[in-house]
Amino acid sequence: MGYDTASKTDPESVVPDEFGGMWFLKDELETDHLGFSILELEPGGKGKAHDETESGQEEIYYVVAGLVDIEVGDSDETVTLEEDDLIRLDADERRQIVNRGDEHAKLVLVGAPL
């Protein structure tokens, strides 16, 4: 078969419900070189601060809904993204996604290579 389908909620969320949810869909879609995740953050919620130096994976974040801040580097720089904005991050760039807004935020996160 030349395709795979998945639903956001096929895997368990790795983020507690009170903060929103995060679903890693790589395994469900059986991708070899591409990571694909959906992140939802409630107001005040934030993702894990991290970089991808070990994996060498660059990432792209696309904001589907809401307003988020991406803290980059050692949190001394913040990039604010709103609906339909994107950011691409080098593998070695430290990053953390924070929802400082008053509304639910939803993002699509894509990373490669794995």
Does some domain include residue 9? no
Q: What's the pTM value of the predicted model, to 2 decimals?
A: 0.93
- Does 113 reside within a domain? no
What does each C-alpha distance from 82 to 6, 35, 67 come to in angstroms? 26, 22, 4
CA dist., res. 83 & res. 85, Å (int): 6
User: How far is CA 114 from each of CA 31, 46, 71, 98, rounded to the nearest angstrom?
Assistant: 9, 24, 23, 25
By the 8 A CB rule, do 51 and 94 touch?
A: yes
Domain assignment of residue 21, yes or no: no
Residue 71 structural domain:
43-107
| 7 lies in some domain | no
CATH (domain of 68): 2.60.120.10
Evaluate whether residue 63 is within a structural domain: yes
3-state DSSP percent of the chain in helix, strand and coil, to 5: 5, 45, 50
**DSSP secondary-structure letter at 34?**
-
Q: Number of structural domains, the chain? A: 1
Print pLDDT tens along the chain (114 aa).
689 999 999 999 998 888 999 999 999 999 999 999 999 999 999 999 999 999 999 999 999 999 999 999 976 899 999 999 999 999 999 999 999 999 999 999 999 997
